[in-house]
Structure 1
Amino acid sequence: MKRIVLFGGTFDPVQTGHVAVADQAVRALQPDEFWFLVDNIPGERKPVHASASLRLEMVRAAVHDDPRFTVSDIEIRRGGATYTGETMDELRAEQPATRFELLLGADSARTIRAWRYGDRLLRDEWFVIVNRSGEAPLSLEEASSLGYAPERVRLLEVDAPHVSASAVRQRVMRGESLGGYVPEAVAEIIGREGLYAQRSVRA
């Protein structure tokens, strides 16, 4: 069966930690494909700071020379608020013979019951839960207590830079260097578009 790992997020902006997690996940999991899913309007999170089209461009720029990665705009094309349950319905309709595996950070994994369609996701989906060095790890026992089916969960230990998108935005607002925080191609787009210098969403 074909396996595709899905790494969803706002990527506002994509940063070096995201890329490191993706790289280590591909090496460890050896999926047939690894997709970045860029949210349109996040249904579960705070408003975004850059437009969907620019966030998509930044993710594509971050991984453009790496054939292991696919950057999908399925959630942007659907429009409206992004809910993972709706994305999974669409993907399964398009590729019914494929096993999709949702890659989540441990913190996100702990909140899944609060998501729209969270119970359905727990019942139907496969998961890769990322434990990053220096953060509180999630065990299979805890995952089971949260409603995950242990046979559908794989835990992945990664050593990735502790960079947050909010820290990147704050550095831009303070006029500080983004070296080591985002890929160079992403920094160029941020500078070109004047992103994050103000708090409003750029069209």
Structure 2
Amino acid sequence: MKTSDSGQTGKTHQTPGKTHDIGILGGTFDPIHLGHLNPARELLKWLGLDHLILMPAAIPPHKAGTSASAQQRAQMVKLACEQEQVFHCDERELKRQSTSYTLDTLLEIKKEHPHQRIFFVIGMDSLFTFTKWHKWQEILTLCHLVVNTRPGYELADMPIDTRQLLARHQVADVAALKQNLAGNIILAPESRWDISSTQIRQQLKSGRDCQHLLPAPVLAYIRQHQLYR
């Protein structure tokens, strides 16, 4: 879900809870792992949300491809979601037949839920390139950006465009974030879970044990379908 993403039609889950805010975490999830899920749980608590939508992304143009197919990636996300009811899988990014952008997906969700705040979760790497995204200014009219911070991305290395963006839109805490329907950016507390899908694929390929990094049903699915060999 970056500069250009293939998106899909589909309904966003509307699950009763203590808030009506919508949290969305997109990613290729190749495969989904605890480095996605554990920080996501922390974000839920920090933002005061009951549920988080996990949205498998089609392959952005800047990426060469994935190891697992779109259907396999979606199935692994579904298996992870079955383990924890706070997570829901939305496949719209994979089902849409035409090329689209993050903006298109957010427009769909906003049309479905016009009065709800959307918290769109991105990584620090995505924040550094956000001003190059397709119609990024319009994206900020539809959602708040919640930035997952992790080691390896120093604020001192931030591009000048990103610094200017934060100067205009950053807020310091969740209470300030929730004063508006959209348009703010907040940096989440740094996650302790610095795990990447690339590392996991390499470990699986070399036959190393990954059961401490993956939900059990996801690891069983990977073994069953002999993925990442």
TM-score by length of 1: 0.84
How many percent identity over aligned positions?
26
Match of 1:46 in 2: 64
AA matched with 1:169 = R
Match of 1:172 in 2: 204
For 2:133 and 2:63, the matched residues in 1 are separated by 10
- 1:160 counterpart = 2:192: yes
2:29 partner SS: coil
Compared CA separation, residues 24 and 35, structure 1 to 2 (3 A): same
Match of 1:146 in 2: 165
Match of 1:88 in 2: 106
1:168 Cα offset (Å)? 1.1
Please identify which structure carries the higher strand content.
1
For 1:184 and 1:108, the matched residues in 2 are separated by 29
Match of 2:138 in 1: 120
For 2:201 and 2:222, the matched residues in 1 are separated by 10
AA matched with 1:153 = I
For 2:108 and 2:61, the matched residues in 1 are separated by 17
AA matched with 2:202 = Q
1:43 Cα offset (Å)? 4.2
1:164 Cα offset (Å)? 0.8
The answer for unaligned runs of 5 or more in structure 1 is 198-203
Q: Is the 8 A contact 2:147 2:185 kept in 1?
A: yes
Which of 188, 196, 201 is matched with 2:228 structurally? 196
1:120 Cα offset (Å)? 2.8
TM-score by length of 2: 0.75
AA matched with 2:91 = D
The answer for unaligned runs of 5 or more in structure 2 is 1-18, 172-183
Aligned residues: CA RMSD: 2.3
Corresponding residue pairs, total = 194
1:123 Cα offset (Å)? 5.1
